[in-house]
Structure 1
Amino acid sequence: MAQRFLARTGGKTRQLEAKATSAGAADAGKIPALDSSGKLDMSMMPAGIGADTQILPASEALSAGNLVNIWSDGGVAKVRLADNSNGRAADGYVLDAVASAADATVFPLDGTNSELTGLTPGAEYWLGTAGGVIAVPLDETDSANANKISQYLGKAKSATELITEDDGYVIL
């Protein structure tokens, strides 16, 4: 619940609640409230301010923190788990779990994926399988890695945060 304040409206003092989200011009001049995470809702931010995200339908269930691959399903962009073993390079990541066919908010690489677990702060990570990461890059001299993707993803800031980089990838 947002905080309440007293305001004079129609010649009377009334208790009003600050707005946690904006409906646009209809809410001009209203007092904003922080959301449950202690931040302003993105609906209150001007165009161009906020996370650079894409809203795309998921073609499979995704878990928070998964790295995802954007692909064309009959000309419609969708997201699925990135995977070094089957040609699905990471194009971004999701911070919330998403059911198959539901819309996913995809954050591009070059941001911080804060929904991972078990990372070692300061360690480097590469694309793994099923939307995950691995701490050791694939050995390009190992014939078992032929046609797999070697993609550097970034460095861990904490046990749950990976500062990602968009350095491209190599097919071994």
Structure 2
Amino acid sequence: MPAKKLLRLVGGVMTEVFGIQSSAGAANAGDIPALDESGRIDASMMPVGIGADVANIPASEGLAAGDFVNVWNDSGAAKVRKADATVAGKDAHGFVLAAVASGANATVYFEGTNTQVTGQVAGNVFLQTTAGKGGATVPSAAGNVAQQVGIATSATSVNFERGVAVTLA
């Protein structure tokens, strides 16, 4: 999508050009970058290794924006589902910022700030027994998984840092 018009001096002539908001690679060599609708540079403009630590993984169930998620092996293929402190092996590996339907690709963030949560209390955040959710209370029932998933810096923001998942006896 073209961004704001820019003026560029080419051979003594002022030319009107559009900046680009994402890159297709070498085909965009020499193009002028422009900020996207969020006011940021698109990750496709950054060198390899710079930017969010993400992967696009098919969802095996519907996911809501802000869900903490578990990456699992489905007959040799990676899939993603809601993390759940009631089930050993469904610990949180990352989070999603956008809702995704079952079968669609989810952009899974393995680090960074989850800005799509609600109701958080400043301090430690643990995976909850409500699938996909985090909160201040450590699950304590036998068979529950105790796992810190980050630190809440506001009611709507958790700095994700995956902790060790411990199944309670």
TM-score for both structures, normalised by structure 1: 0.88
Q: 2:155 aligns with which of 148, 159, 166?
A: 159
Name stretches of at least 5 consecutive residues in structure 1 with no aligned partner. 140-144
Gaps of 5+ in 2: none
2: CA distance, partners of 1:134 / 1:24 = 41
How do residues 41-56 of structure 1 correspond to structure 2 at under 5 angstroms?
41-56=42-57
Q: Which residue of 2 aligns with 1:33?
A: 34
Q: Within 1, Cα distance between the matches of 2:9 and 2:70?
A: 53
Aligned to 1:95: 97
Kindly state the Cα deviation for residue 105 of structure 1 after the two structures are TM-superposed: 0.7
Tell me the alpha carbon deviations over residues 14-65 of structure 1, each in whole angstroms, 9 at most, x when there is no partner.
4211111112112111111000010001111111110011110000010111
Match of 1:106 in 2: 108
| Equivalent pair of 2:125/2:134 in contact (CA under 8 Å) | yes
Give the CA RMSD over aligned residues.
1.8
Spell out, residue by residue over 1:89-108, the C-alpha distance to the aligned partner (whole angstroms, 9 max, x if none): 11110011111100011111
Q: CA deviation at 1:159?
A: 1.1
Q: Which residue is equivalent to 1:170?
A: 166
Partner of 1:16: 17
Deviation at 1:7, TM superposition (A): 3.7
Report the number of matched residues.
Answer: 165
Could you state the TM-score of these two structures normalised by the residue count of structure 2? 0.90
Letter in 1 for 2:91: A
Question: What's 1:142 paired with?
Answer: none
Q: Percent identity?
A: 47
Other structure's SS at 2:44 match: helix
Mapped to 2, the partners of 1:10 and 1:61 lie a distance apart of 54
Deviation of 1:12 after TM superposition, in Å, equals 6.4
